[in-house]
């Protein structure tokens, strides 16, 4: 059986979700997956970015990370999305990319893909669960199979306990308040495992 192909698709303004994506990459590779880490295009104006030195620095640091394409969605057996919250919802950058997937959806090319999601916010009640659920709404329209982490690993109880997808609270200096690395890696491994079950069932 071929290795599961996993696309980790993220948006990150100052680096938190990029770090989550890289941890997910490590976990998925440990599970034997072939992994691509991909960013969605930045939509904010240069003037907006320039008002935040951390935003500008992160954009420069990740300039060589490949930008996701629809071909990547078709290539992958499974996806992990990582995004910050924006008023309890998805950032415009991720939503704009998802809005371009109508052709693949119409052709049925997103059906039975396995998906999981992660997020971050500046406080623990800043819309973390709502953001993950909002992303899953799109995935249900795709006919994708959601692989939420639930409480399938002890790391859920030390990382904030979000059963929908790993989430982290980040202070104004960019420091993560919860220990989420192991939870992220577990979520990635679980996503790969569920994709393997689907792949075996389709053979």
Across the chain, mean pLDDT equals 95
Residue 201 pLDDT class (50, 70, 90 cuts): confident
- The Cα 104–Cα 9 span in angstroms is 17
Residue 180 phi/psi, 5-degree rounding, is -115, -5
Number of structural domains found in the chain: 1
pLDDT band at residue 111 using 50, 70 and 90 as cut-offs: very high
- Contact of 54 with 41, CB cutoff 8 Å: no
List, for residues 28-57, the tens digit of each pLDDT value: 999 999 999 999 999 999 999 999 999 999
Cα–Cα distance between 165 and 115 in angstroms, integer?
10
List the CATH number of the domain containing 19: 3.40.50.360
Q: Is the pLDDT of residue 20 over 70?
A: yes
pTM: 0.96
Q: What is the mean pLDDT of residues 163-171?
A: 95
Instruction: Look at residues 110, 100, 115 and name the one whose alpha carbon lies nearest to residue 165.
Output: 115
């Amino acid at each position: 059986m071929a290795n599961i192909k996993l696309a980790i698709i993220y948006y990150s303004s100052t680096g938190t979700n990029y770090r989550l994506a890289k941890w997910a990459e490590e976990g998925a590779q440990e599970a034997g997956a072939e992994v691509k880490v991909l960013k969605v295009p930045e939509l904010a104006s240069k003037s907006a970015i320039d008002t935040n030195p951390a935003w500008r620095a992160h954009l420069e640091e990740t300039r060589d990370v490949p930008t996701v394409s629809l071909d990547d969605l078709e290539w992958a057996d499974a996806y992990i999305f990582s995004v910050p919250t924006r008023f309890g919802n998805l950032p415009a950058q991720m939503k704009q990319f998802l809005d371009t997937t109508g052709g693949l959806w119409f052709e049925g090319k997103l059906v039975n893909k396995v998906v999981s999601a992660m997020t971050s916010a500046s406080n623990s009640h800043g819309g973390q669960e709502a953001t993950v659920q909002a992303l899953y709404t799109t995935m249900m329209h795709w006919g994708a199979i959601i692989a939420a982490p639930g409480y399938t690993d002890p790391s859920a109880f030390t990382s904030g306990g979000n059963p929908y997808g790993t989430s982290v609270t980040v202070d104004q200096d960019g420091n993560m308040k919860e220990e989420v690395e192991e939870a992220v890696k577990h979520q990635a491994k679980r996503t790969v495992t569920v994709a393997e079950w689907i792949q075996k069932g389709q053979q």
